[in-house]
Structure 1
Amino acid sequence: MAKSKEVEINKDGTIRGLSNTAVQMIAFGGSIGTGLFLGAGSTIHRTGPSILFVYLIIGLFFFLMMRAIGEMMYADPEQHTFVSFIGKYVNPRLGYFAAWSYWLELILAGMAELTAISTYVKYWFPGVPAWLIQVFFLLVLTIVNLAMVSSFGKSETFLSGIKILAIIALIGLGIYLVSTSHRNPSGTTASWGNIFNHFSMFPNGLHQFINAFPMVFFAFQGMEFVGITTAETKQPLKVLPRAVNQIIGRILLFYIGSLLIIMAITPWNTLNPNESPFVQIFKLAGLPAASQIINLVVIAAACSTLNSAIFSTGRHLYQLAEESSAKSMGFFTKVSKNGIPIVSVLFSAGMMILAPIISSFNSLSTAFAFIASVSSDIYILVCILTMVAHYRYRQSADFKLNGFKMPQYRWSNPLTIAFFIAIFVSLFFNQTSIWPAIGALAWGLGFNALLSYRHKRVEIAEED
């Protein structure tokens, strides 16, 4: 197949076809999803205006993690996933654990988004079976992922663009309502004073403030997708630093900007935590089609996350196969003429087809919800190991003095690790999150114990 002179082909046959815009949109796609459009009302209800501090603090630590990932990817831009550095710089066994756990977490996330998509589509077409909707969207997005990598980038740019337009529309509308002192049907007036009047850091208690941290933490999940696109990004040494430095500011702008506007238009304690704050604000503005518009946006948001999940799981499985000595894993290293790890993508997408089956049985749905929660908690452990890998990288011979360095890593790296540990520990003090947290801990200990046992068996066999 003829390639353009502008296209750079890696040694393994994959193609660098993602632009800076596509990379940023992929990160937007992963980290700005239904959590903002549907779940922001719940977090505002917990802590009031102080939720802004929660987003700001977590955004800062995610930026530090992104700088750590960016520094390692800059030093070795041919890696298909940032998780591979855990095995390289921390411990091969922990790297194996992190890679498979993160792959599984993304599979479950993709399945959850499929279930969400069918729910949102049935809002308009209640008679269409959920399984048929799920199969259709999975098939379409898998085909997109099997085309040129640039096709994936364009699709993600389009889907993320819908979300960004919705947020910009909300911010623009909010500024207009505040500047005109719009009087809401409930009798309140849009004003910046709604944010600061009778401000309390812990309006519902310190416990609720602390519980908001893990909720917001998971809202930022997906930003690390930048560390999965590097091997297929054009001019990675130029694009990577720019993408990492720009994306955190823009995400914070959209998140904090949205929350500021929402709480300025109407007092935070008048919001319904069980309804999308975007729908509520558009209704206050007199837009009758608010529910329809936001339904379209959340479908785009869910499709965007699913699209990124298919891409990311395919690259993770491909990287695992490349690093594995098992002959059976060699099957997953096949790269298509278009530069796509085709078998890894198809297998990962095929795993997500379990979603329609699970959603058909209530008992399975309950079990899936628990497993998905456990998997999300494991993500925190992967973040901790990633930061440990970065610290070890800085001590290694691979460290590039003129690279894209994480600022003040000697204190910022340990501080980030401590913060992530604190987030994980906080899960054990919440009745709804304690069992998934225990499950995540059990999975980590059990997985590593099994690997250790297998390693000893191999050593004994070799001695004999």
Structure 2
Amino acid sequence: MRDLTARKEELTASEKHSGLRRTLSRRHIQMIAIGGAIGTGLFLGSGRTIGYAGPSIIFIYMIIGFFVFFIMRALGEMLLSNLHYKTFADLAKDLIGPWAGYFVNWNYWLACVVAGIADVVAITAYMKFFDEDVPVWLVAVVTSAVLLFFNLQPVKWFGELEFWFAVSKVVTIVALLVVGSIMIVTGFTPAGRSPASLTHLWDAGGMFPMGAAGFVLGFQIAIYAFASVELVGTVAAEAKEPHKTLPKAVNSVVLRVLLFYVGALIVIMSVTPWNQIDPNQSPFITVFSTAGFQAAAAVIGLVVIVSAASSGNSQIYAGVRMLYGLARDGHAPAVFARLSRGRIPVAAAVLTGGLVFLSVPLLYAGDSVLSAFSFVTSVCSVLILFTWSSILVSYLRYRRRHPDRHAASAFKMPLGRVMPWVTFGFFLFMLGAIASNPDTLPALLAAPFWFAFLAVMWTLRRRALARSGRPITGHIPLPDFDPDRAPSSARPSDHRSEDAS
């Protein structure tokens, strides 16, 4: 009974610190985690990645998923070590320094805005399946307005929306796996095409038909597909029973990658040879169109649109929470920290969601909708690598500064001494992959200017706070439990004891 009382007091104190309510249940967190792993990068971007890498895309997603798992485990261990950590930006400012929190917050906020724009652009591309003549500006404006409306609703609405959005994604992929597997087993032969067969994975130039160069190029596009997995760390501030929900959500990353990415792509390229897949169209729609199931293809097209809307909704949600955190720390205008009666940062939502309307001029700036999509996704990929790097640097600092918390954790990152450094090496490889493609190189070249701008703004903001006598960043309380003194049954990191209670 005492454990339950202490648990309620812990969550109440955490909620007061954040100003947000823990109203997201276990099913919400689980499906948000799934939704983060299944995004526009898979439904639309995978067609373009197949064009670059061929069947080796399977290995690309497996390799990226391998490293993402360790990033998520590091994030999960740190968030559970102190429930007053609300996002990975809180980790950065507490474990690295106030400047790091400023950089991570603003960088991720921009990444969310850019990713939201990418999702709106993707929806305009999907709409072409239904009507080639639909004005792209109309689709972009309506979509952006709807996403903004969603993010002005109470967070429980967000949880419900994402739950059902994620369900639609899972149903779509399961349907693809079932239908595609039946086509492969029965040797289904579409009109004018070869029979569906696993041999398509290697009978058109082998598993690496584009050579090492194509394999490397595939990474810089595929990385965007994983750009929302860290969203679980952003919703931690509004999750009920985080010690139960977060570990399960994080641990399922690898399973989701194997099933939703690798499994789906094996089926897609077995039904339609990789060199016959249109990079400008979602390969999920292509499979059902190839099979002659036009009605099913139309349904899948609708689900793919819902998927992109879900991804955009999540990105705006995360961006709003980042801007809210910046304002609470004094790093953004105070108006963005004001909450409505429903505990929604309305001004932060209006700015973040409003910027997604920039998708309209962007659609007319390039040669095609796909070129606009490629540009914004490359920018987002560069920004997300910085975010992931900040998580790992924070983890290294966490282990050094809080060995007691690490020792008491029941959710330790596997190979915690080695994998952060190995992952940093992978990030260097990713930067090289981005630099090797003329289409993505501009995003990498622009990054130093962005961080130089943040450095100047941080210097000015820090001086302004000092002159006004305010702290240069928000305070993060110590954990409510002392791992060295509290009995094991009361440790917040021991989710097994909670299950027992």
> How high is the TM-score relative to the length of structure 2?
0.82
Correspondence for 1:40 = 46
Check the 8 A contact 2:114/2:379 in 1, yes or no. no
1:256-267 superposed matches below 5 A:
256-267=262-273
Once the two structures are superposed, residues 377-426 of structure 1 have per-residue CA deviations (whole angstroms, 9 ceiling, x without a partner) of 12212211221111111111373422221111100111112211221132
8 A Cα contact 2:113 2:355, kept in partner: yes
One-letter identity of the residue aligned with 1:389: S
In structure 2, distance between residues paired with 1:213 and 1:415: 17
Structure 2 equivalent of residue 60 of structure 1: 66
Cα drift, residue 446 of structure 1: 4.2
Which one of the candidate residues 289, 293, 298 is aligned to 2:299? 293
Deviation at 1:266, TM superposition (A): 3.5
* Distance in 2, Cα, partners of 1:124 & 1:28: 27
Could you list the per-position Cα deviations for residues 70-129 of structure 1 after superposition, in whole angstroms to 9, with x for gaps in the alignment?
111111233332122122222322321221111012112212323433454465467765
CA distance in 2, matches of 1:15, 1:460: 33
Matched, 1:414 2:421: yes
Shifted more, 261-270 versus 112-121: the winner is 112-121
User: For 1:276-308, what per-residue CA distance to the aligned partner results, in whole angstroms no more than 9, with x for missing partners?
Assistant: 322222123221235522321221011101110
Cα distance in 1 for residues equivalent to 2:55 and 2:214 = 13
Q: Which moved more, 1:16-25 or 1:441-450?
A: 441-450
Give the 5 Å matches for 1:231-270.
231-270=237-276
Query: What is the correspondence of 1:286-365 to structure 2 with a 5 Å cutoff?
Result: 286-324=292-330, 329-356=333-360, 359=363
- Structure 1 equivalent of residue 392 of structure 2: 387
CA distance in 1, matches of 2:336, 2:277: 49
What secondary structure does 1:106 align onto? helix
Correspondence for 1:50 among 56, 79, 92: 56
Structure 1: state its 5+ residue gaps. none
Structure 1 partner of 2:478 = none
State how far apart, in whole Å, the 1-side matches of 2:237 and 2:282 are: 37
Gaps of 5+ in 2: 1-7, 470-501
Q: Distance in 2 between matches of 1:110 and 1:169?
A: 27
How big is each residue's C-alpha offset from its partner over 1:234-280, in whole Å with a ceiling of 9 and x where there is no partner? 10111111111123312331111101111222333333333332222
Task: Tell me, yes or no, if the aligned pair for 1:211 and 1:426 is still in contact at 8 Å.
Answer: yes
Task: Confirm or deny that 1:77 pairs with 2:83.
Answer: yes
Q: Where in structure 2 are the equivalents of 1:156-175 lying within 5 Å?
A: 156-175=162-181
- Per-residue CA deviation, residues 25-57 of structure 1 (Å, 9 max, x unaligned), is 223333322322223222223323222111111
Deviation at 1:182, TM superposition (A): 1.5
SS in 2 for 1:184: coil
Paired amino acid for 1:396: R
SS at match of 2:88: coil
Deviations 1:179-225 (A, max 9, x none): 21212323412223333557735321211111111211111110110
Distance 1:147 1:207 in 2: 46
For 1:24, the equivalent position in structure 2 comes to: 30
1:409 and 1:124, CA in 2 relative to 1: closer, same or farther beyond 3 A?
same
Q: Secondary structure at the match of 2:280?
A: coil
Alignment of 1:230 onto 2:236: yes
When the two structures are superposed, what TM-score results if normalisation uses the length of structure 1?
0.88
SS at match of 1:410: coil
State which of 441, 445, 448 in structure 1 corresponds to 2:455: 448
Q: CA deviation at 1:131?
A: 4.5
Q: Is the 8 A contact 2:111 2:384 kept in 1?
A: yes
In the alignment, is the contact (CA less than 8 A) between 2:201 and 2:207 conserved in 1? no
Q: Contact (CA 8 Å) 1:160, 1:300: kept in 2 or not?
A: no
Counterpart CA distance in 2 for 1:375 and 1:279 is 25
The CA RMSD over aligned residues, in Å, is 3.1
Decide which moves more: 17-26 or 263-272. 263-272
CA contact (8 A) 1:310 1:345 kept: yes
Between 1:390-399 and 1:208-217, the stretch displaced more is: 390-399
User: For residues 168 and 368 of structure 1, what CA distance do their matches in structure 2 show?
Assistant: 26
Is the 8 Å Cα contact of residues 15 and 338 (structure 1) preserved in structure 2?
no
C-alpha distance 83-405 of structure 1, shift in aligned 2 (>3 A): same
Instruction: Please tell me the residue identity of whatever aligns with 1:336.
Output: S
Distance 2:118 2:103 in 1: 22
Contact preservation (8 Å) 2:187, 2:196: yes
Q: Which residue of 1 aligns with 2:383?
A: 378
Q: Distance in 2 between matches of 1:308 and 1:459?
A: 35
Equivalent position to 1:438, from 423, 441, 445: 445
Q: State which drifts further: 374-383 or 64-73.
A: 374-383
For the residue of structure 2 that corresponds to 1:61, the secondary structure is helix
Percent identity (aligned): 37
| Matched AA of 1:374 | V
- Cα contact 1:321–1:333 (8 A) shared by 2: yes
Query: Matched residue of 1:275: which SS?
Result: coil
Query: CA separation in 2, counterparts of 1:346 and 1:336?
Result: 13
| C-alpha spacing 1:211/1:125, structure 2 compared with 1 (3 Å) | closer
d(CA) in 2 for partners of 1:177 and 1:24?
A: 31
Equivalences for 1:76-95 in 2 at 5 Å? Answer: 76-95=82-101
Paired residue total? 454
Q: Describe the shift of the 1:446–1:332 C-alpha distance in structure 2 as closer, same or farther (beyond 3 A).
A: closer
Amino acid at match of 1:376: S
Distance 1:300 1:228 in 2: 22
